[in-house]
Structure 1
Amino acid sequence: MRVWAVANQKGGVGKTTSVVALGGLLAESGKRVLVADLDPHGSLTSWFGYDPDRLEHSAFDLFQHKGKVPEGLPAQLLVETSCKGMSLLPASTALATLERKMVGVEGMGLIISRTLAQLWDDFDYVLLDNTPSLGVLMVNALAASQRLVLPVQTEFLAMKGLERMLNTLQMIMRSRNNPLPYTIVPTLFDRRTQASTQSLNALRKTYGDDVWRFAIPVDTKFRDASEAGLVPSMHSPDTHGVRAYRRLLDDLLIQTGGRE
């Protein structure tokens, strides 16, 4: 099992779209894929037609057992998606209460790691969609992951969010026994605007080889895919946005040893 977290401490940068697009392409290639929603807003859950306000069971259930994960519980929480080969661990809005409820409970930062340990033989890839804030959910995701995909919108305000995220990453890495490699992925790139081009250049100048060599463009078909409840490669397989995610996946697989 390979576990990738998709995270940034700024909202609206394309985290959920990246999870669905990359996960869909992996499933399309025959991989068994789990996408996990660790955001109380539940955008990933909503993408596939589930209502985070009405779900009886969700990722929230994993955090209700004093730092333990009962045997068999993770598998019981998974639901189907419209994409063959892809399962979903849904979110509910109750996740927003975790910070208040979990104060002083030991082992809360390893719940997702323990969850995935039970599912290790069931999936080839797990992609974790994250809340845009530092807390128990993001700590869980980073602790469980082998790779961080860090989407950054190509606008100057997004640079501050990236700076905060990298500071968080350094803090988390000090508590890990092994490093967490990351790839900064420029998103929502519009080559027609000077601001977008300048922001992309600034990203590359500041962060060098940590920035992916291409960018994910603005593509309205992503929104259409979300409304249809489909992964982008099923909805509109030949758009420039999907082609960009194919290129990104190829590079990530090379970096992580997933493709010879």
Structure 2
Amino acid sequence: MKVWAVANQKGGVGKTTTSIALAGLLADAGKRVVVVDLDPHGSMTSYFGHDPDALEHSCFDLFLHQGNVPQGLPKQLLHGTSHENIALLPSSTALATLERQSPGQSGLGLVIAKSLAQLWEDFDHAVIDSPPLLGVLMVNALAASQQLVIPVQTEFLAVKGLERMVTTLAMINRSRKQALPYTIVPTLFDRRTQASMSTLRVLRNTYPDHLWPAYIPVDTRLRDASRAGRTPSQFDANSRGVIAYRALLKHLLSHQPAAQVA
């Protein structure tokens, strides 16, 4: 299994859309994909038609065992989605209480890694949608992943969020055996605006070694796909956004660390 996390310490930059678009394209290609919603807001869970306020069981259940994960529990928590090749580990609002509960509990940072280990033979890819906040949930996402995708809206405040994310990643890398590779993805790009154009220039000048050279454009079809509860490529395979995400997926697959290439 290849495990990717999608994260940024700023909200509204396209994390959930990016997670679902990439998962959908992998699933279209016949890959078995599990998507993991670690955001207490539950945007990914809601996208696929499940109510994070009403779910009796969710990813939260994985954190209730002092850092251990009972055998078989991750599989019991899986939900179906609009795509036959995608399964969902859903979020619930209870995840928001983890930060208050976690002090004094050791081992909580590896819960998702341990959970995915139990699903290793059942899926080809895992895509983790992270919360926009440094805490036990983001630490879990980064600890479990082999590759990090950082969506960055092409506007000034999002660049400041990226700076915080890169600082966080440096801190996380000090506790990993090897540094986590990451790719910065410009999102919500509108070439008609000076803000998008200037932000893209800043990203290219500041992060040349980690920046995907293209961008995800503003595309209302992505929002329409969300409303329909279908992956963007299911909804409109030839939309501008999907074409861009297809190029991003090709880039990510070709730039995986050698040991992870199938």
RMSD in angstroms over aligned alpha carbons?
1.0
TM-score (norm 2): 0.98
Amino acid of the structure 2 residue aligned with 1:136:
V
> CA–CA distance in 1 between the matches of 2:159 and 2:185?
12
Please give the TM-score of this superposition, normalised by the length of structure 1: 0.98
Note if 1:91 corresponds to 2:91. Answer: yes
Deviations 1:105-150 (A, max 9, x none): 0100000010011011011000000000000000001001000000
Check if 1:243 corresponds to 2:251.
no
Q: Secondary structure at the match of 2:152?
A: strand
Who is 1:77 aligned against?
Answer: 77
Letter in 1 for 2:103: V
1:179 Cα shift? 1.1
- In structure 1, the partner of 2:198 is 198
Q: What's the counterpart of residue 234 of structure 1? A: 234
Shift of 1:259: 7.0
1:7 equivalent to 2:7? Answer: yes
- Say whether residues 1:18 and 2:18 are aligned partners: yes
How many aligned residue pairs are there?
260
What SS does the corresponding residue of 2:255 show, helix, strand or coil?
helix
What secondary structure does 2:216 align onto? coil
Amino acid across the alignment from 1:42: G
Residue deviations 1:6-51, cap 9 Å, x none? 0000000000000000000000001000000000000000000000
Matches within 5 A, 1:24-39: 24-39=24-39
Equivalent in the alignment of 1:55:
55
Query: How far apart, in 2, do the equivalents of 1:23 and 1:171 lie?
Result: 28
User: 1:121 is matched with which residue?
Assistant: 121
In structure 2, the residue corresponding to 1:175 is in which secondary structure? coil
Once residues 57 and 111 of structure 1 are traced to their aligned partners in structure 2, the CA distance between those partners, rounded to angstroms, is 16
Deviation at 1:209, TM superposition (A): 2.3
**1:222 corresponds to which letter in structure 2?**
L
Counterpart of 1:203, as a letter, is L
Aligned to 2:146: 146
Report the counterpart of residue 160 of structure 1 in structure 2. 160
Runs (4 or more) in structure 1 with deviation over 3 Å come to 257-260
Distance in 1, Cα, partners of 2:37 & 2:255: 24
How many Å separate the matches in 2 of 1:27 and 1:216? 20
Per-residue CA deviations over 1:30-77 (Å, capped at 9, x if unaligned) read: 100000000000000000000000000000000001110000000000
Where does the alignment leave 5 or more consecutive residues of structure 1 unmatched?
none
Instruction: Kindly indicate whether residue 105 of structure 2 is the aligned counterpart of residue 105 of structure 1.
Output: yes
